[in-house]
Amino acid sequence: MDTRFLESFVAVVEFGSMAEAGRRLNLTAAGVAQRLRVLEEDFGIALVTRVGRRVHPTEAGVAVFTKARALLQGIRELRQVALADTESGELRLGAVSTAMTGILPRAMRGLHATHPNFNIFVAPGTSMDLYERVVDGDLDAAIIVAPPFRMPKTCDWRPIRTEPLLLIRSESLAVDDPRELLSTQPFIRYDRNHWGGRLAENYLRYLDIVPEDRYELDALEAIAVMVDSGLGVSLVPDWAPPWPEGIRLIKTAIPNPEFARHIGLVWLRANNSLRTIEAFLDEVASTSLSD
């Protein structure tokens, strides 16, 4: 049995969609569906069923999913053991969207130069999703926003970047006072389902302001473009550049250091990829010092 087919099945169950599983695995939805058909023929039983646009595991699929996930993790651990005394390594790394463009490129370039045989797989996602995947052992490490709770002792954490909360507005707004802007202008909200979005909500509560919500988005780059277009003001973290090209925003830092987003790397202490994780962290540190 090709373990890549099991990997596709696990991804479909986790994300509930063949299209999303394909995006995560760099496959087409048709390619994922073909792998599932081969796997079901091999087992002689249906593993998934469609309900509307969602894909759900059958009773047999649930049982296979649990075992398949453990098997794939075991295979990855065996691979790391085999590579322990070589110059090779493997790392399944998650990253939030702003880290994908602002932190990863230079670090990955340096890591490739110093460790050309390292194999790095990068998965996008939200901080909450990536944190859970690290805890579950599906990812070796992830660059995320610091969780708003105490992490278990099984996890390790290394801070990478502190991003103060910013009030952003278009150049057409002559008002400077943050309280007045937040009280009178339409507000483009950073999604409160994100840990960074909750930070903005906490600041509004601190000011005792209930803004006139116009939109609530989960993409910081889109928020910046909408603010530049004069659709409202927003509170966002000062994420690592690049920001969208061509925008001309006025950014006002929130003076209270309590309202800052902290970006870091989380990983499990019991991890066969520790050597690769340390090499990656060294590159992140060196690129940060060169800024």
Which residue has 């400077």 as its token pair? Answer: 176
Task: Return all residues near 45 (Cβ < 8 A) that are at least 6 apart.
Answer: 58, 60
Reported confidence tier of residue 52, pLDDT bands at 50, 70, 90? confident
Residues 69-80: what's their mean pLDDT? 75
191-232 residue pLDDT tens: 999 998 999 999 999 999 999 999 999 999 999 999 999 999
Please, what is the end-to-end C-alpha distance for the chain in angstroms?
A: 48
Structure tokens at 250: 């006025």
Portion of the chain with pLDDT greater than 70, in percent: 94
